[in-house]
Each structure stands twice: as C-alpha cells, then as structure tokens.
Structure 1
Amino acid sequence: MIRTYETADTNRILEIWRKASDLAHPFLSPSFLAEAEEKIRSLYLPISETHVFAQDQKLLGFIGLLDGHIGGLFVDPDYHGHGIGRALVDYAKSQKGRLTVEVFKENPIGRGFYKAYGFRETGEYIDEDTHQPLIKMTL
C-alpha cells in the first residue's frame, strides 16, 4: 500500500535511507552521510512530497518528490527485487507525468533500476558537496 508520509514515519524512513545508502553509496564518507541524514530530517522531508510503501504496517520504501523530480527513492535492501521501487515510481508517474532524477554515476543499483524502468540519461555533472559525478535521467 502506498500512502502519504506522516511525521511518525521519520525514524523508519531514515533507517531505510541509511541501509540503502550504505549499500548503493559506499564511496560517500560517514561524515557526509551523517550530515545528509540531518538534512533529510530537518529540510527535505518537510518540503518534499513524500510517499511510503507499507506492507502489514511496516514501511519498506519511500519516494520523495519535488514537483516532477525524484529527490529520493529508497527501498529497504532486504526487500530489493520485490517491485516496491517500481510501485513507488509508478505512483509518482501517475501523479506527475514526466519525471527526472539524478543518480550517482558510481551507483549501479540506482542507475540499473532507472534504466530498466525506461529512464534515459540526459546529462552528467559533478556534485558540489561530494565531488562525485551525477547522472541526470529523464522519463
């Protein structure tokens, strides 16, 4: 079931984000991840349109949208391959139509997911905070 994020979901969302980030972004420093976690809690969750995927009352993934841009899509790694990410992007597409996303070039999990979904790479630039290349993708 997909529903709108509630503030009571915050700790579980951050747990999912951290587990998925540790898996997909091993090139990011622990200090960067700690700073990013605080930004998600205090800045991004309050301003983004966030939806969660829940099964049997347990949150398994979430998507954060800023208009038609996917600011974050994270699924608990224990549930990768179960269609949760696809369901969340399907939902976002039904609400927003055209979607964009930026994915670290060194994140084969994310890039592979979006490519398989039908996103195409439309650009590349260096992220100011991490100094890592980001790939722009559009659906």
Structure 2
Amino acid sequence: MIKKFRTQDTDAVIDVWYKANKLAHPFLTEETLKTVRAMVRDVYLPNTETWVYEHEGALIGFISLISSDPADVEVGAIFLDPDHIGFGYGRALMDHAAGLYGSLKLDVFKENHIGRGFYRRYGFKEVSEYPFEMTGDMVLKLVYRPA
C-alpha cells in the first residue's frame, strides 16, 4: 500500500535508502554514502513530497518528489529494499508519481545499471549527462512524458 511519508517513517526510509544504494551504487565510497545519508535525513526528506510503500506491515520502498511547479516535477529518489526488487513495487511507486503529475524527470548514475534498466522499461529517455559534483561519477538526466 502506498501512503504519504510521516516523520516516524524516517529510520525505515533511511534503512531502505542505504541498502538500495549499496546494491545500485557499489562504486560510491562509504564516506560518500555517509555524507549523502545525512543530507537525505536532514535536508531532502523534510523538503520533498515523499510516498512510502508498505508491504505486510513493513516499509519496503519510497519515492521522493521535488517541485515548486506541478508542471516540473523531479523524482529526487526512488528506492526499494533489495529483497523486494522485481515484484512491481517500484513500478507502483512510479505510477503513483506519474498519476499525480504526468511528466517526470530524474537523474541517475550512468553506472547504476539496475536503475537505468528500470527507467528505460518505464519509458524515460536520456536528455543529457554531467559529472556528479561530489565524486565526478557521470550522471544521466532522464525525462518521462506519458503518451
């Protein structure tokens, strides 16, 4: 079931975020993950529209949306607990966001093959690439426009 993030979900969201990052981004150092984890907890979660997916009473995934304009919405994060990948939960979260806003954009590390495959299957298209300021790893900017 998808529902609105509550502050009491923070620890579970951070746990999912960390496990999923270790799987999708093995090229990121533990120091980088520690720095970004603090930013997710203290900056991003309080300032995004976040939806969580609960399955059998446990929080297994989330999607965070960033926007000051409903016509320009960015998926700032979408992560699933690695044990729940491949069952349609990520698609359900993305469908929820697309149902709310239609067109979406996001950034994904070029070396994140798990995420890139998911976004390609969903219908996102690459529009540009740039280096991630913190590490220099290449990032792709993608857009989704419903048919």
> Which residue identity does 2:124 align to in structure 1?
F
| Structure 1: runs of 5+ lacking an equivalent | none
User: Is 1:77 the equivalent of 2:82?
Assistant: yes
Q: Secondary structure of 1:123's match?
A: strand
TM-score (norm 1): 0.98
Counterpart among 124, 128, 138 of residue 133 in structure 1? 138
Deviation at 1:102, TM superposition (A): 0.4
Q: Deviations over 1:81-122 (max 9, x none)?
A: 010100000000011111001000000000000000010111
SS at match of 1:53: strand
Q: Which runs of 5+ in 2 are unaligned?
A: 68-72
Structure 2 counterpart of 1:12, one-letter code: A
- The match for 1:109 is 114
Shift of 1:57: 1.7
CA distance in 1, matches of 2:106, 2:113: 14
* Alpha-carbon offset, residue 127 of structure 1: 1.0
Distance 2:77 2:11 in 1: 16
- TM-superposed CA distance for 1:71, in Å, is 0.3
State the aligned residue count: 139
- Once superposed, what is the RMSD of the aligned Cα atoms? 0.6
Cα distance in 2 for residues equivalent to 1:71 and 1:63: 8
2:96 corresponds to which residue?
91
Query: Structure 2-normalised TM-score?
Result: 0.93
User: Would you identify which runs of 4 or more consecutive aligned residues in structure 1 move more than 6 Å?
Assistant: none
How much identity, in percent, do the aligned residues show? 45
